[in-house]
Amino acid sequence: MNLNTPIGQIPKVGSFHTSRLKKLKIETVEDLVHHYPFRYENLGTPVKINALKVGERVSTAGKVEQIQNIRTRYGKNLTFATINDGTASIEAVWFNQPFLVKTVTPGAKIGLAGKIDYFSHKPTLINPDYELLNKPGTKGGFHTKGLVPIYPETSRLSSKWLRNKIKEMLPMVVGKIDETLSSESRSRNSLITKRQALWQIHFPNSEEQVKQARRRLAFEEIFITSLQAIERKASWEKLVKARPLNIHQEKILTLISNLPFNLTSSQNKVIKEILADLSAGKSMNRLLQGDVGSGKTVVAAIAAYVAYLNGYQTAFMAPTEILAAQHLKTLTSILSPLGVKLSIRTSSSKKRGPFDIIVGTHAILSKNVTFDNLALVIIDEQHRFGVEQRALLRTKAKRAHVLTMTATPIPRSLALVIFGDLDISTLDELPQGRKKIKTFVVPPEKRNRAYQFLRNKILEKRQAFIICPIIEPSETLSTAKAAKEEYSHLKTEVFPDLKLGLLHGKMKHSEKEIVLENFRDNNLNILVATPVVEVGIDVPNATVMMIEAAERFGLASLHQLRGRVGRSDQQAYCLLFTESSTENVIERLSSLEKHHLGLKLAKIDLKMRGPGHIFGTAQSGIPSFKIAELTDLPLINAARNEANLVFNQQKVNFTKSLRKGLEKQPLVTPD
Ligand code: ADP
Ligand code: MG
């Protein structure tokens, strides 16, 4: 028996259980012993039968005096047993488990856990959990007393079954489990060994043991992820010898002084960080995170200008055509007066000719775009690109610095785990004078008032967005309003006298452009759209944002959506419609009424729904941890520091460093 043994080969696990276990992603013995409980039921220490009290949940034990099945008048199967422990006896009753009499026989010693109540006028343990105690290896029992682990289950595969199997297998394989942390690492961070942790997570003697075990296993997950990231970073730095760039201070200052605004101190700080990278003779690989509207584009423009001044090209990649077009416009206004030549490359625009900066979608990655002279790659909204696309870009950009940008700021220590191979810069303030977007969660009964409110704003010559979560109707998304349907409904029933436009992701680029142009020119009062508007639309006259089925979005996505309004000195509003009245949902959405910084909202989402939801959809690139909570910042920091320390001390690759940490350990077993 070893860790790789397929689960179907262990005794008494047939094809039925094998298929059930597969549902839990358990295919080998190793998977089984790493299937961790998600909670524990504390059944306490067994109580003598003469001390049992009616109404309590108890753990007790004794000898079976007699047991028999009875069929009631109504056709129910009851199994009655009398249990005696020398101090007194008590009845137990089970419903519909007539097979019990085959295993629980008179004279057997059993442990019981359950609630005592009156049954047929007698104090009785009703449907208690039970276990036989005279089988070898069961000693005091582990299902009916103490802290009993409860596992993620699947139908017809109970925690009791899993507990039994783990109890059986763990002693056989625990000696083969490799240690991943050296004794120095463990003692620096007060961690128990991996083997000890596995025992304690499955069969703890106390809450304290559970805590120790969880902490140890969570630490390991983060430690390993971090070490891998540090490795990747080191190999990136070795592999990519980006062109060192000179910083032409005077010219950059001229650009900055020609901007129609003063840079925020955050922007200044971040620009310094980037320029330091570019000139340091190392390869920049930096993530710039900052809220919608925090002014990332101008930062990117300055970096691109540096490349230009050194005679090199920049590729600027955006996730949608709309956004690419927007960026082209912005960059052109800042840089073309300085002589920089810009070009665009999307699936529908293939402007050719020489360029200093090429802006585009992933079409930039196509074979027939070649770079003579690439020194900088900028990726906007990086989380919208797949891992492969990012990798492909890197292979195209052998000697280029990379700046990635995201409008979903997340706490620094979390970012370091998720994007551990990147350096991170954060824009943590908005340009001065921005008004907070007044945000309201709107229950169904206030919908008409909200429409009236919107109508009034349109009378004041303002414009509005109405966002629907999906394009086509879908049975499963019952509360979602399909944009098309919603559009025709709004157009005919709600705002027949107003001009409405429709924008969704399945439209041709040229169609989108026409709609957008009309909206920009205020020929449309309301733009009904799917979340494609999340990025790239800049219409300052739009001051109202209505979002349907808001509960479907992550807070960070909602925050980005509302960032489409509030782009002028006019007060802007965001109305979040939800049919849900679940307290949790309302509480989550209400945080948008109170908070106006993405970072804060990301922290709330992280707490309430976990990291997978911050970005709206489960996102590629976020490591999934079995046990580590990405909200446990002190632990994350400790594990990251340790990973750095180990990496720097050993200066060898990750797997080698793990091997080195291996050592023979005594086989630990619980008492
Ligand atoms: P982001 O990409 O971070 O969401 P943008 O770069 O699109 O934000 O900037 C949003 C708007 O703010 C743009 O109109 C831009 O010109 C403007 N802007 C950028 N920096 C400043 C600043 N320091 N002061 C005032 N306005 C700014
Ligand atoms: Mg942007």
- Mean pLDDT confidence for 407-431: 83
348 lines ligand 1 (CB under 6 A): no
Q: What is the pLDDT of residue 37?
A: 93
Compute the distance between CA of residue 185 and CA of residue 645 in angstroms, rounded to an integer: 9
Task: Render pLDDT for 250-267 as a digit per residue (tens, 0 to 9).
Answer: 999 999 999 999 999 999
C-alpha of residue 510 to centroid of ligand 2, in Å: 22
The CA-atom distances, in angstroms, between 235 and each of 254, 393, 395 are: 37, 17, 14
**Per-residue DSSP letter, 534:** G
C-alpha of residue 337 to centroid of ligand 1, in Å: 19
Name residue 220's amino acid.
Answer: E
Q: What is the pLDDT of residue 310?
A: 97
Q: What is the pLDDT of residue 430?
A: 86
Task: Render pLDDT for 273-288 as a digit per residue (tens, 0 to 9).
Answer: 999 999 988 889 899 9
| Buried b / exposed e along 176-196 (16+ C-beta atoms within 10 A) | ebebbbbeebbeebebbbbbb
Superfamily (CATH) of domain 438-595: P-loop containing nucleotide triphosphate hydrolases (3.40.50.300)
Q: What is the pLDDT of residue 270?
A: 97
Compute the distance between CA of residue 19 and CA of residue 659 in angstroms, rounded to an integer: 34
Q: What is the pLDDT of residue 664?
A: 35
pLDDT at 658 over 60: no
Q: What is the pLDDT of residue 470?
A: 66
More reliable by pLDDT, 308 or 603: 308
Q: What is the pLDDT of residue 415?
A: 80
Q: Which ligand is nearest to the CA of 384?
A: 2
Nearest Cα to Cα of residue 528 among 566, 494, 558: 494
C-alpha of residue 293 to centroid of ligand 2, in Å: 7
Q: What is the pLDDT of residue 190?
A: 97
- Mean pLDDT confidence for 572-580: 95
- pLDDT-above-70 percentage for the chain: 89
- Mean pLDDT confidence for 209-232: 92
Q: What is the pLDDT of residue 494?
A: 95
Identify the sign of the CA torsion 593, 599, 600, 601: positive
Domain boundaries, the chain: 60-137, 249-427, 438-595
Q: What is the pLDDT of residue 591?
A: 95
Nearest Cα to Cα of residue 5 among 24, 23, 35, 26: 26
Res. 340 pLDDT band, cuts 50 70 90:
very high
Q: Which ligand is nearest to the CA of 270?
A: 1
- Mean pLDDT confidence for 581-603: 90
- Ranges 130-139, 146-155, 292-301, 594-603, most confident: 292-301
Atom 10 of ligand 1 has which residue's CA nearest to it?
Answer: 293
Give 39's strand partners: 150
Res. 481 pLDDT band, cuts 50 70 90:
low
Q: Which ligand is nearest to the CA of 598?
A: 1
Q: What is the pLDDT of residue 291?
A: 87
550 lines ligand 1 (CB under 6 A): no
More reliable by pLDDT, 671 or 104: 104
pLDDT at 657 over 50: no
Q: What residues contact 506, with CB distance under 8 A and at least 6 apart? A: 471
322 lines ligand 1 (CB under 6 A): no
From 259, 294, 561, the mutation candidate for ligand 1 (largest count of ligand atoms within 8 A of CB) is 294
Task: Render pLDDT for 498-518 as a digit per residue (tens, 0 to 9).
Answer: 999 998 877 888 888 899 899
More reliable by pLDDT, 416 or 98: 98
Mean pLDDT of the residues in the chain: 87
- Mean pLDDT confidence for 512-525: 92
Task: Render pLDDT for 453-480 as a digit per residue (tens, 0 to 9).
Answer: 999 999 999 999 999 876 555 544 433 4
Atom 19 of ligand 1 has which residue's CA nearest to it?
Answer: 295
pLDDT at 152 over 90: no
pLDDT at 6 over 60: yes
Topology alike, domains 249-427 and 438-595: yes
Which is the closest atom of ligand 1 to the Cα of 427?
Answer: 3
The CA-atom distances, in angstroms, between 358 and each of 302, 361, 367, 401 are: 15, 10, 15, 15
Q: Which CATH architecture has domain 249-427?
A: 3-Layer(aba) Sandwich (3.40)
C-alpha of residue 328 to centroid of ligand 2, in Å: 12
Q: What is the pLDDT of residue 638?
A: 94
Q: What is the pLDDT of residue 191?
A: 98
Q: Which ligand is nearest to the CA of 540?
A: 1
Atom 20 of ligand 1 has which residue's CA nearest to it?
Answer: 295
Compute the distance between CA of residue 655 and CA of residue 566 in angstroms, rounded to an integer: 50
C-alpha of residue 380 to centroid of ligand 2, in Å: 7
CATH class assigned to 60-137: mainly beta
Neighbours of 250 (CB within 10 A): 8
Q: What is the pLDDT of residue 192?
A: 97
Confirm if 270 and 299 have CB atoms less than 8 A apart: yes
Res. 536 pLDDT band, cuts 50 70 90:
low
- Mean pLDDT confidence for 25-29: 93
pTM greater than 0.75: no
Task: Render pLDDT for 315-333 as a digit per residue (tens, 0 to 9).
Answer: 999 988 888 988 999 999 9
Q: Exposed (0-12), middle (13-18) or buried (19+): which is 551, by Cβ within 10 Å? A: buried
Lowest mean pLDDT among 203-217, 565-579, 613-627: 613-627
pLDDT at 15 over 60: yes
pLDDT at 100 over 50: yes
256 lines ligand 1 (CB under 6 A): no
- Ranges 530-534, 614-618, 630-634, most confident: 630-634
Identify the sign of the CA torsion 594, 598, 601, 603: negative
- Mean pLDDT confidence for 566-579: 91
| 214-217: long-range contacts, CB 8 A cutoff, minimum separation 24 | 214/627, 215/191, 215/635, 216/191, 216/192, 217/36, 217/626, 217/627, 217/628
Residue-wise DSSP of 83-117: EE-SS-EEEEEEES-TTHHHHS-TT-EEEEEEEEE
